[in-house]
Amino acid sequence: MLLTVSTTHRPAGDLGFLLHKHPDRVQRFEVAAGVAHVMYPEVGDERCTAALVLEVDPVDLVRSARGPAGEGFSLGQYVNDRPYAASSLLAVALGRVFGTAMKGRCDARPELAATAIPLEVHVPVLPCRGGPEFAARLFGPLGWAVAANPIPLDPAFPAWGDSRYVDLRLAGTLRLADALAQLYVLLPVLDDAKHYWVSGDEIDKLVRAGGDWLAAHPERQLITTRYLAHQRGYAAAAEARLAELDDRPDPDEPDERVGRTGHDAGDERLPSLAEQRRAAILGELRAAGAARVVDLGCGEGTLLRALLADSAFTELVGVDVSVSALRRAAARLAEAQRVRLLHGSVTYADDRLAGFDAVVLSEVVEHVDPPRLPALAAAVFGAARPATVLVTTPNAEYNVRWDTLPAGEYRHPDHRFEWTRAGFAAWSEQVAAAHGYAVRHVPVGPVDTEVGAPTQLAVFTRGS
Amino acid sequence: MPTLAVPELSLVALVGVTGSGKSTFAARHFAPTQVLSSDAFRALVSDDEDDQGATRDAFDALYYVAAKRLRAGRLTVIDATHLRREDRAQVVAAAREQDVLPVAIVFDLPPEVPRSRNAGHRNLPDHVLRRQQEALRRSVRGLRREGFRKVHVLSGVDDVAAARIEWEKAYNDRRELTGPFDVIGDVHGCLSELRELLGRLGYVVTPDGAHHPEGRTAVFVGDLVDRGPDTPGVLRLVMGMVAAGTGLCVAGNHEEKLVRALDGRQVRIAHGRAESLAQLAAQPAEFRAAARDFMYGLVSHYRLDGGKLVVAHAGLKEEYQGRSSGRVRAFCLYGETTGETDEYGLPVRLPWANDYRGAAAVVYGHTPTTVPEWVNNTICLDTGCVFGGALTALRWPERELVSVPAEREHYEPVRPLAPPPRPPDLLRLDDVAGTRYVETRLLGRVKVLEENAAGALEVMSRFAIDPRWLVYLPPTMAPAPTSTLDGLLEHPSTAFEAYRSAGVTRVVCEEKHMGSRAVAVVCRSAAVAAERFGVSDGSTGAVYTRTGRAFFPPELTEELLARVRAAASGLWAELATDWLVLDLELLPWSAKAGELLRRQYAPVGAAARAVLPEVLSVLSSTGARLGADAVGELAARQEVRLADAAAFTAAYGRYCWDTDGLRGVSLAPFAVLAGAGGVYADRDRDWHFAVLDRLVEADPEVFRTTRRITLDLADSAAEGVEWWTELTSAGGEGMVVKPFDGLARGRRGLVQPGVKCRGREYLRIIYGPDYTEHLDRLRERSLGRKRSMALREYALGLEALARFTEGEPLWRVHEPVFAVLALESAGVDPRL
């Protein structure tokens, strides 16, 4: 992988002093991922260019487990872009090779080190999740003119479109130390969009360490979250491996679509839709007098946390099919005594879930393939058989109210279907009749006269 | 000499004062592990067997162990004084909890005996001993009332010394009887139909008995009486058979109620009881008395044929089989009810059979249905003869159903006869979760680790198709042992050598199609799908990936299945089946792996092709400034890498082409896995290809042939090497080498069912574009785990198919299928 830095400050050759690397030598540095080479392809009074070439040993990358974070025992470790694309490995090499320059120290030219000088940076292959405009969003506010040109995936298959890489060129007048520090932090941020939960403390720490430019950056929140997520990234190895057996990408790899059309995308008020949904569920549970509640498909435990706030719920059980989601839920609910987390599935009958007052399936059914819904109904209404079952699911009719959701698309890429109000009513009435429950429907969120509310809630009550 | 009858499975309480010789007695008659002594448990929890302060904890621990033993069906003896009523009540409660009989053995000795013994090793004051003696005397009389089903009192030292234990089998334990049996459903006084059925089954029938010339035994599931025209006639016939040993009968709820009515107790005269009472009233008193005693003496259930067959009137869940208690009897007679009643006022029964996971087949009656159907190894034979249905028998072990229609509707049904509600085929988490051992016929027990099962649960739940279609998952395949030939990681010569040393002489080399492994289940019609797979939504099969995902949306799947069905039209009759499971490769790779290609493979090539020329240009400018030597080696390496990147891009590109619906999609089948005739794993490779070639002939657009050559390893291995070289230098993925005979056992047991030898260029997709530069290090790969995994998964896959073809319940088929997925989730170098 490659990064070049040029300046047109005169005399341009002073770049060698600022970088602490002699322009007439090709220098070699052992770094964690392989060997870094520093050289100057161009040295003149008007213009001087330094290049950092990082040669990664792909075999060692795997054996020393320094591959892409979290890919575990997956093929992704072997066939990956690390040897070519400017990732965190390059950032690490940058820090190692130009560490002194990054701190702004230059005994030979101290004033120059403290001065903003005209700089050009070229990163020919930069992974940029979020598209070329995302690079502009990150570098633009720092004073750079940004040119990010997408690189096509494979000219033999034009239909595949562009890759996630851009050829990045930055031009601006900055202190060299700042430029290097920005690259050091932002390269991994651009590369890695994995979404993990990061605590507030850690964010504060990075902001303090990141200096003025980061503190003032309009995308500060996003930068810090992504940066920290990258540092702590891990994935359930089994999950990754099984996905790959199926010739599918690592499920933990970010999907660009998630960011755009995630559950509640497209509406500024949407975080509050999730809250309204939780409030509606809580209200129904209280009305039903439920004390022992199962959150089936609890994910990372957001609803459980809300339930924990009310001591009327004496026993809470969260069930999810994803071990990694449960781990994150456990981290959130660490101190709670009244809650247990179980690994389970909505399509298998589970004796541990029998005898509760209520089972909640919040935004779960739409993640189940329609042919498997009878198994879900049998497991919940037939086997677990609580007095109350709450089911929430999107109202497909409402999707037209979201401008950013393309017509015909689901709210989440993993949704297997989204029901209209009539569709949900038909299903829930049939299930209720088959298992001896009564059902009523409650809209959640702002009710639109034409298309209804964004979320639909069904309240099932077991007959006597 | 006193003989103490003790049921083989019971909870025995020794009752007696301190020093009365209980422990000595226990040591003489029971195994040390059968005896739980309060002293020993006190010592366990407190290091002091006399520490009375530890008594409570000691008994907690003791009863915990007792419950575990009894649950496992092991006789247990509690050695404690049991002089207080509440201590004995705990014994009775523990026995009932585990559905075994509580037994008391009382040591009633003259006061001086314990006193002299106590003087020896314990300093129990006289007044304590006196109080104990007093308590014992008070206890003895009431033991039966307290719930002990057997009470033995040993009076005096001589009795204790001479006593002998006689083990008593449970009434329900007739495992020694091996039949063959004819299990007969609810008769309800339908004598004429019963006689006809017995005749049909080959019995010689007389008015007061029947026997089978081949020595078969009839087993009645109870409810002989009530509602029908001739209850006394039926009783006479069955009583005669039972007396003669040609028949067995378990109690039905109607017998139980009729006995109560005959005894003059308060019973509601409904459900056809009036007819029985009237008919019996017309019989001689001796017959009435004999019938009453016969019905009174009926056992709740029988275990027969080495434990493989259980007969109970309303069925019986596994944990109650072979047990004796009030609730076991109630379950046998009435089933498990919710306490609610349905729209006809009949009790709502819990569908215990849906959850049944026992090894024994349970045959029962009680709930009239139109057709008997096996559900999880249980079957209800009540086909409502008295309501105008039929009287049905099950031949065991043949598992054939024989039935005769009712002559007429003898009694109007309360609820119209209906087919049994379709069981939801609901799998249970216990069927798959946790550490499991799956029994396979090829490799014995295969262990599945808990964490791997957890990994598989997510994929199975979120992505896999309906488990009823998922009757098989393909095993992974090990590569040939690593080659040391220059520039190569894999080469057929090592595969040939491995088979040769395993004792295989003939192999087939098959072209490896680089697509996606697929399994196709295809039924001749939707009706076959409903009947054989239990899927009645109109679909006729499935085409799924190696982790159980559907390849295509439903409509497209059906379109593809229709093509397969049409091509297979000649095979149905020939293979005597109306469904088939095929193992195949679905092409192109990009059809399924499109996203992987776009997100992983193509980006690697794109990044390499974009960055390396830039690096080379930097190096060349630097070289121009400082002399070519300064960058020479580095530049040379980048040139090689650039060429490797181009080769890598070309390698995956060969397996990508556009598809639109089914256009462009083709199937390369390589095994006929199973059909109604069974699992075809033991057929040789020629047989498989003879069948599969017919598919290719019938529809060359969808099916693609697999080129192959058969080799005799003794003399034509070189031919195989040549062929492989030819295939791979033309850009092919490589080949698979398989034993010609299919399922092969060698000197060291089961032989790998196939090994792959992949081509040099293809392996760039697996090991990375530059792998050829690092061969020395990459050769250090260890294949042991992969090979063992391949064998275990192979055994599991065939086990699933075998279970399916033998008609085993869904959970039994799902178990090994799930295990394959679980093993696959284990961390093994994915490049192998």
Cβ B424–A375 below 8 Å, yes or no? yes
- The average confidence (pLDDT) of chain A is 83
* pLDDT-based confidence at residue A138 (cuts at 50, 70, 90): very high
Cβ A248–B465 below 8 Å, yes or no? no
pLDDT at residue B43 in the model? 94
Chain B residues with CB under 8 Å of A25 CB are 626
Q: How far apart are CA B479 and CA B766, in angstroms?
A: 12
A135 touches chain B (CB under 8 A): no
What percentage of residues in chain B have a pLDDT greater than 70? 97
- Tell me yes or no: is domain B3-168 CATH 3.40.630.30: no
Residue keyed to tokens 């770049």: A15
Instruction: Check whether A75 has a pLDDT greater than 60.
Output: no
Average pLDDT over residues A144-161: 93
Domain range summary for chain B, segments of one domain joined by +? 3-168, 179-405, 431-476+783-832, 482-508+707-781, 514-588+666-705, 589-653
> pLDDT (tens digit, 9 = 90+) per residue, A180-229?
989 988 887 887 643 334 455 555 556 655 667 887 788 877 777 677 66
Specify burial of residue B517 (Cβ count, 10 A radius: 0-12, 13-18, 19+). Answer: buried
Residues 50-109 of A with CB under 8 A from B: 51, 53, 55, 58-59, 72-76, 78-81, 83-85
The two tokens of residue B672 are 């006929």
DSSP 8-class letter at B420: P
Average pLDDT over residues B488-500: 94
Point out the residue among B429, B630, B824 whose CB comes nearest to the CB of A348.
B429
Q: How far apart are CA A187 and CA A54, in angstroms?
A: 14
Chain B residues with CB under 8 Å of A378 CB are 424, 426
> pLDDT (tens digit, 9 = 90+) per residue, A436-454?
999 999 999 989 999 999 9
Given phi > 0 = left and psi -120 to 50 = alpha, else beta, which region is A165? Answer: beta
Report which residue type is found at A246: D
Q: Is B241 helix (H, G, I), strand (E, B) or coil?
A: helix
Residue keyed to tokens 């008593």: B168
Chain A residues with CB under 8 Å of B626 CB are 24-26, 39
Residue B622 contacts residue A39 (beta carbons within 8 Å): yes
* pLDDT-based confidence at residue B628 (cuts at 50, 70, 90): confident
Chain A residues with CB under 8 Å of B458 CB are 239, 321-323, 345
pLDDT at residue A264 in the model? 42
The two tokens of residue B462 are 């979120």
How far B765 CA sits from the closest chain A CA (Å)? 7
How far A69 CA sits from the closest chain B CA (Å)? 15
The two tokens of residue B649 are 């891009």
Instruction: Check whether B466 has a pLDDT greater than 90.
Output: yes
Residues 17-36 of A with CB under 8 A from B: 24-26
pLDDT at residue B397 in the model? 93
How far B557 CA sits from the closest chain A CA (Å)? 14
Chain B residues with CB under 8 Å of A248 CB are 593, 595-596
Cβ A241–B825 below 8 Å, yes or no? yes
Closest CA to B819 of B540, B318, B544, B443: B443
Q: Which CATH superfamily is domain A2-245 in?
A: Hen1, N-terminal domain (3.30.1610.20)
Domain range summary for chain A, segments of one domain joined by +? 2-245, 270-462
pLDDT at residue B637 in the model? 92
Note the CATH architecture for domain A270-462. 3-Layer(aba) Sandwich (3.40)
> pLDDT (tens digit, 9 = 90+) per residue, B729-749?
887 889 999 999 988 888 788
Which residues touch B352 (CB under 8 Å, ≥6 apart)?
B315, B317, B335, B336
Residue B774 contacts residue A59 (beta carbons within 8 Å): yes
Residues 598-627 of B with CB under 8 A from A: 598-608, 610-612, 614-615, 617-619, 621-622, 625-626
DSSP 8-class letter at A439: E
Chain A residues with CB under 8 Å of B425 CB are 375
Find, in chain B, the residue whose alpha carbon is nearest to that of A60. B777
Chain B residues with CB under 8 Å of A159 CB are 658
pLDDT, greater one: A233 or A26? A26
CA B320 from centroid of its chain's CA atoms:
18
A167 touches chain B (CB under 8 A): yes
Note the CATH architecture for domain B179-405. 4-Layer Sandwich (3.60)
Average pLDDT over residues B787-811: 94
Residue of A21, A56, A59 to mutate for B, most B C-beta atoms under 10 A:
A59
Q: CATH number for the B514-588+666-705 domain, one of 3.30.1360, 3.40.50, 3.20.20, 3.30.470?
A: 3.30.470
Average pLDDT over residues B658-677: 93
The two tokens of residue A80 are 């990956």
Instruction: Check whether A238 has a pLDDT greater than 50.
Output: no
Phi, psi of B29 (to 5 degrees): -105, -20
Specify burial of residue B748 (Cβ count, 10 A radius: 0-12, 13-18, 19+). Answer: exposed
pLDDT at residue A269 in the model? 42
Q: How far apart are CA B22 and CA B18, in angstroms?
A: 8
- The average confidence (pLDDT) of chain B is 91
How far B190 CA sits from the closest chain A CA (Å)? 35
- Other beta carbons within 10 Å of B578: 18
Cβ B626–A59 below 8 Å, yes or no? no
pLDDT at residue B611 in the model? 95
CA A352 from centroid of its chain's CA atoms:
33
Do A270-462 and A2-245 fall under one CATH topology? no
Cβ A73–B828 below 8 Å, yes or no? yes
Residue of A248, A326, A416 to mutate for B, most B C-beta atoms under 10 A:
A248
Residue of A154, A241, A342, A372 to mutate for B, most B C-beta atoms under 10 A:
A154
Chain B residues with CB under 8 Å of A349 CB are 355, 426-429
Instruction: Check whether A104 has a pLDDT greater than 90.
Output: no
Phi, psi of A106 (to 5 degrees): -155, 100
pLDDT at residue A274 in the model? 86
Instruction: Check whether A245 has a pLDDT greater than 60.
Output: no
* pLDDT-based confidence at residue B217 (cuts at 50, 70, 90): very high
Instruction: Check whether B768 has a pLDDT greater than 90.
Output: no
pLDDT at residue A73 in the model? 42
